[in-house]
Amino acid sequence: MMRRTVPVMATLSAVALALTACSSGAGSGGADPDDGGPITLDYWAWGTAQQPMVDAWNAANPDIQVKRTDAGGGTDSSAKLVTATRAGNAPDVAIVEYNTLPAMIVAGVAGDISEHADGLDDEFAPGVWSQVTFDSATYGVPQDAGPQALTYNKARLDELGIEVPATWDEFAEAAEKVHEADPDTYLTTFAPAEFGGFAGYAQQAGAEWWSVDGDTWTVDIDDDASVAVADYWQDLIDRDLVLAEPMLTPEWNAKVNEGEVLSWPAGLWAAGVLYGVAEESAGDWAMAPLPQWEEGDPAVGFQGGSAVVVTTSTEHPEAAAEFARWMGTADEASAAQIEQGQYPASLAGQELTLASDPPLLMPQQEDYWETAAEITRATIPEISWGPNVNVASSAFQDAMSTAVTDGTPLRDALTETEAEVVDDMRTTGFEVTQK
Amino acid sequence: MSAVTDTPPPAYRRARRRWAAPALFLLPAALLFVAFLAIPICYALYLSFRGMRMAGGGPFGVRQETWVGLDNYAAVFTDPELLAGLGRLAIYGAIAVPLTLGLALTFALLLDLPRVRGARFSRTAIFIPYAVPGVVATLLWGFLYLPSTSPAGWILERVGLGGIDVLHGPMIFPSVANIAIWGGVGFNMIILYTSLRGIPVDVYEAARLDGASEWDIAYRIKIPLVAPALTLTGLFALIGTLQVYGEPTTLRPMTSAISQTWVPLMLIYRDAFTRDNLSLAAASSVVLALGTLVVSVILLRVTQKRSFGES
């Protein structure tokens, strides 16, 4: 089979080369890349911060022009990247969420940029850097970070006389008080489809869903820590103290606007998302560190955050890597991110936030960025994601939704998810041990 | 050619000429058929026997497409979700198909009554939902279903009755079916109504002379005469049911009751694009297509005798 595939692939890529050569020639006014003329890079990225960043790059780099396409959010964009890579028309550079990056590597989307990554590791905290380094090869430049924090409706909590919880136990008590004070109001939401959020809570509790030793993967999605987290939320759901509904629906948005959902423990980007759905309540909100499982332990996990990867399809790996590095580390790029409420991944960018205004959702919270920096210092380093997070995420969403709808234990949903993940990895040919 | 013209069996020549023109006329259609139907189907079949497997070793080795034989089909037939999806489809179909056809037939018969008033307006009003794109219709209904955004919920709350949550538990089936019924009745009604208008008026006059009431005419004359159209719309509705995708997919973000594998096409989409397993999706597609074909043929066989009067 291989022998027949290779010539076909060679022909296809020759055609693809010819086609891209034509199009880039036309796009850059007939200039040939080999002559040192301007080249055009295609860049897939979602989010409001990207276009200003790209514009700043284009203004400063007339020789390497970047054309940005919004190919949808994290899940959509990575699915399209895989398809486009197979079809031979993937962009040169793209944004990939940290938890999807391993899947993008095994799908042959993200290229190894180690040879263009000299000194890059000094620009980032080790925890962030470990998100883009696998088997001592570098596959991307971190752009934004999403350490988990508690974004809450301060005005409503003050009104109800409830203090910001510092531990998850206090959080449960607060949930009880909120619901007692106003039966229509919930302290927070447990959205069964929020894979990333749950993964973050579990990481904070010490879970390690994937780990790799030599060539062998170990998968343990229903480890003790994760089960404890599941049981914690189970209890809140059973006592009707949290809203067990999907979030960011018209229904949920209406509740947030009416002050009936009072907090969202999520990545730091939550401020931007909430501002999008509840702009009128800006000024009522504030951000605090995520509640802790044990008092005094400041550790938190990540939820979201993304890296800029250079694809294996690019014809300009060097230019693409240069652009990726700039997007992750340049001050101008960081400034554009901060303005849009993203938390930059680079140390310099995080330093820059301290001189910036708080996000639009909480313009009154002067210490927002100081708090963010403290939280970031406490994020757990060495979080490792497996090669099929897409499978885990889809299995988790369905299993959790069914558990919440049917009233079956959430912890069983974790076991189901793990079974599907292991099954998929074994079918693909990974060596897996299951705990 | 000269050899042929020298010994001309006239019948043969005529046969040749008879073949040339149709072949030429068929060529564009045949080419399009091959390019856009035959090749994709063959490619899907081919894909269904392939799969992405680890090529090199190492924890981050790149996966490559290889031959996997019947692995994908084995996975399809042992997947409980596909079976569960078909089960949900059956419930959905049991609600949507009879109601769509029943309402369409009722409206068509009502519009066909003599001296009916406002027929043109009613016909258009019933047909208009069909012109609303499915996704738009689903979003529209979604907002009506969600208690906080629904005017019905608002009124119920003012009256003192709690809101009814139609996006939870078993209520999800009628809620999804309702959207399809709302959009589908108009289309089916037009087909049936057109068929009714094709019945010669003298049949009714003869019936009236014999003392038949409008009810008798509808039940004993109109319905049997539009049976072929009913079979056609029934077949469309059945195939439409097997292809349900847009409504539940659009509603999914609003409720936990709809999983990513709620109906077979959603399962196929998830496998192909969320889980990057095109081969498994291809195998499921082949199975679903064959299933649809079998069901359609059975339906036609069963109804043929009654509705087309053929043996």
Domains of chain B: 1-37 (no CATH), 71-308 (1.10.3720.10)
Q: What is the pLDDT of residue A369?
A: 93
Q: Where are the beta strands (DSSP E) in B42-161?
A: 50-54, 63-67
CB contact under 8 A, B256 and A401: yes
Q: Which residue has better confidence, A5 or A336? A: A336
Distance from CA of A421 to the nearest CA of B (A): 11
Identify the weakest region by mean pLDDT among A8-12, A334-338, A383-387, B239-243: A8-12
Q: What is the pLDDT of residue B191?
A: 94
Instruction: Supply the angle between the helices B172-197 and B134-145 in degrees, to the nearest 10.
Output: 130
Average pLDDT, chain B: 88
CB contact under 8 A, B254 and A107: no
Q: What is the pLDDT of residue B163?
A: 64
Any idea of the CA torsion for A234, A237, A241, A247, to the nearest 10 degrees? Answer: 110
Do the beta carbons of residue A198 and residue A417 sit within 8 Å? Answer: no
- pLDDT above 70 covers a percentage of chain B that reads 92
Say if residue A22's pLDDT is above 90.
no
Average pLDDT score over residue span A409-429: 94
Q: Chain B interface, mutation test: which of A99, A106, A277, A426, most B Cβ atoms within 10 Å?
A: A106
Spatial separation of the C-alpha atoms in residues B89 and B108, rounded to whole Å: 27
Identify the weakest region by mean pLDDT among A131-135, A297-301, B305-309: B305-309
- pLDDT above 90 covers a percentage of chain A that reads 63
Residue in the structure block whose two tokens are 């948005």: A253
Residues A235-256 have pLDDT tens digits of 999 999 999 999 988 889 999 9
Query: Residue A237 corresponds to which amino acid?
Result: I
Say if residue A25's pLDDT is above 80.
no
| Residue A381: pLDDT band with limits 50, 70, 90 | confident
Do the beta carbons of residue A306 and residue A85 sit within 8 Å? Answer: no
Residue in the structure block whose two tokens are 């993304």: A306
Q: Which two tokens stand for residue B237?
A: 């509705």
Could you tell me if A271 lies within 8 Å of chain B, comparing CB atoms?
Answer: no
| Residue B116: pLDDT band with limits 50, 70, 90 | confident
Could you tell me if B9 lies within 8 Å of chain A, comparing CB atoms?
Answer: no
pTM > 0.90? no
The CB density around residue A209, as the number of other CB atoms within 10 Å, is 26
Q: Chain B interface, mutation test: which of A398, A402, A433, most B Cβ atoms within 10 Å?
A: A398
Could you tell me if A277 lies within 8 Å of chain B, comparing CB atoms?
Answer: no
Say if residue B69's pLDDT is above 80.
yes
Among candidate residues A172, A210, A293, A76, the one with its CA nearest the CA of residue B274 = A76
Q: Which residue has better confidence, B275 or A284? A: A284
Angle, CA of B91, A406 and B140, to the nearest 5°: 60
In CATH terms, the fold of domain A147-302+377-434 is D-Maltodextrin-Binding Protein; domain 2 (3.40.190)
Average pLDDT score over residue span A37-49: 89
CB contact under 8 A, B59 and A215: yes
Average pLDDT score over residue span B57-69: 82
Average pLDDT score over residue span B68-93: 93
Query: Residue A40 corresponds to which amino acid?
Result: T
Say if residue B308's pLDDT is above 90.
no
| Residue A308: pLDDT band with limits 50, 70, 90 | very high
For residue B172, the chain A residues in CB contact (below 8 A) are: none
Do the beta carbons of residue A368 and residue A287 sit within 8 Å? Answer: yes
Domain limits, chain A: 23-145+305-353, 147-302+377-434
For residue B63, the chain A residues in CB contact (below 8 A) are: 106-108, 428-429
Q: What is the pLDDT of residue B9?
A: 58
Say if residue A115's pLDDT is above 50.
yes
Average pLDDT, chain A: 87
CATH for A23-145+305-353 (3.40.190.10, 2.40.70.10, 3.10.129.10, 3.40.50.2300): 3.40.190.10
Could you tell me if A256 lies within 8 Å of chain B, comparing CB atoms?
Answer: no
Give me the residues of A, 111-150, that contact B with CB < 8 A. 134-135, 137
Say if residue A130's pLDDT is above 90.
no
3 state SS of A384: coil
Q: Chain B interface, mutation test: which of A249, A257, A313, most B Cβ atoms within 10 Å?
A: A249
Say if residue B43's pLDDT is above 70.
yes
Do the beta carbons of residue A44 and residue A81 sit within 8 Å? Answer: yes
Do the beta carbons of residue A398 and residue B260 sit within 8 Å? Answer: yes
Distance from CA of A196 to the nearest CA of B (A): 15
Looking at residue B34, what DSSP letter applies? I
Sign of CA dihedral B221, B222, B228, B231: negative
Give me the residues of B, 23-42, that contact A with CB < 8 A. none
Distance from CA of A389 to the nearest CA of B (A): 9
Average pLDDT score over residue span B8-29: 78
Say if residue A19's pLDDT is above 60.
no
Q: Label residues B99-122 b or e (16+ Cβ within 10 Å = b).
A: bbbebbbebbbebbeeeeeeeeee
Q: Label residues A355-376 b or e (16+ Cβ within 10 Å = b).
A: eeebbbbbeebeebbebbbebb
Bridge-based pairing state of the strands A216-219 and A431-434? parallel
Give me the residues of A, 192-231, that contact B with CB < 8 A. 192-193, 212, 214-217
Do the beta carbons of residue B180 and residue B91 sit within 8 Å? Answer: no
Residues B229-244 have pLDDT tens digits of 999 899 889 888 988 9
Could you tell me if A433 lies within 8 Å of chain B, comparing CB atoms?
Answer: no
Which residues, including other chains, have CB under 8 Å from residue B66's CB and lie 6 or more apart?
A: A1, B50, B51, B52, B53
Looking at residue A120, what DSSP letter applies? G
Say if residue A37's pLDDT is above 90.
no
Do the beta carbons of residue B262 and residue B151 sit within 8 Å? Answer: no
Among candidate residues B240, B228, B147, the one with its CA nearest the CA of residue B192 = B228
Main-chain phi, psi angles of B285, to 5 degrees: -65, -45
Q: Chain A interface, mutation test: which of B70, B82, B274, most A Cβ atoms within 10 Å?
A: B274
Distance from CA of A18 to the nearest CA of B (A): 24
CB contact under 8 A, B148 and A82: no
Q: What is the pLDDT of residue A35?
A: 53
Q: What is the pLDDT of residue A4?
A: 40
Average pLDDT score over residue span A164-176: 96
Q: Which two tokens stand for residue B65?
A: 């497409």
